[in-house]
Amino acid sequence: MRMPSDIDGPMPLRRLRLWISAFLPAPALTRATVPAPPAAPGGSMICVPTSAGGRRCFLGDDRGYSTDPDAPARIHSRLLLTGLHTPDPVVAQQWHRCGESVEIRPDSGTVVARATAATDRVAFEPLRIGRTGEVIIEYHAAAALPLIAGAPDITMAATFIIDPAHRRLRCTGTVDSFPAFESYAAAGDAPPVTLFTFDPTTPAALADDLRRPVDVTVGFDPVAPKHQAPEGH
């Protein structure tokens, strides 16, 4: 049984959840996506011009920023770290997925093709311990639209530096200029805090390999509200 002082007083981080996503947002966030035809199996699409003067259209994730780890995304990764208050923290879980790519006819919304990019270039590296006890884990992701040969990669790279004693997390790295990107973290079962969100620029930025820097530090409230379960072990 946990004593009140363990719940209400400052204590080191024990368990941390992280998740990071790249997604094709709804038209409200970018001019690159437009409403899909009513018969399409999705609400918005992105269209790519062809050399013949036509266009190929693909469904987007049709959403705004969301702390829901199950929100649709082109690339999504999540991580659970436990034992952060011990000399031997562990990666208890990591999971990666790429959302299905769906090509539709721009006039009717009829599905033309479906494919899902592989996650073989998406990973969290083994964690390591820094000189002052911080827990460090690196992340990299790359995946391309599988329905277009030679499509440019969507890429993300991040280093997460966790200071359990001071309940802080620093995230540094880069994300592409397109599409939209987001990352969140949560201590134990507490509500998540936002690490970063990035609006998309234009799809052409992917071909130009333009990347945006990330460098943010967040803290986690050491007091567990009475309506919320405290951090787990």
Would you say 113 and 149 are in contact if contact means Cβ atoms under 8 Å apart?
no
In a domain, 208, yes or no: yes
- Residues 73-102: tens digit of each pLDDT: 999 999 999 999 999 999 999 999 999 999
Q: What is the pLDDT of residue 223?
A: 52
**Is residue 228 in a domain?**
no
Residue 4 or residue 23, greater confidence: 23
Assess if residue 231 is contained within a domain: no
Is 22 contained in some domain?
yes
DSSP SS3 for 36? coil
| pLDDT value, residue 7 | 38
Mean pLDDT of the chain: 90
- List Cβ neighbours of 97 (8 Å cut-off, separation of 6 or more): 73, 75, 76, 119
Confidence of residue 69 (pLDDT cuts 50, 70, 90): very high
For 160, the domain range is 4-219
Q: Which of 182, 180, 175, 156 is nearest to 69 (CA)?
A: 182
In a domain, 167, yes or no: yes
For residue 4, is pLDDT > 60?
A: no
Residue 85 within any structural domain of the chain: yes
127 inside domain: yes
Q: Is residue 197 part of a domain?
A: yes
Q: How confident is the model at residue 207 (pLDDT cuts 50, 70, 90)?
A: confident
Mean pLDDT over 97-118 rounds to 97
pLDDT of residue 50: 87
Q: How many domains does the chain have?
A: 1
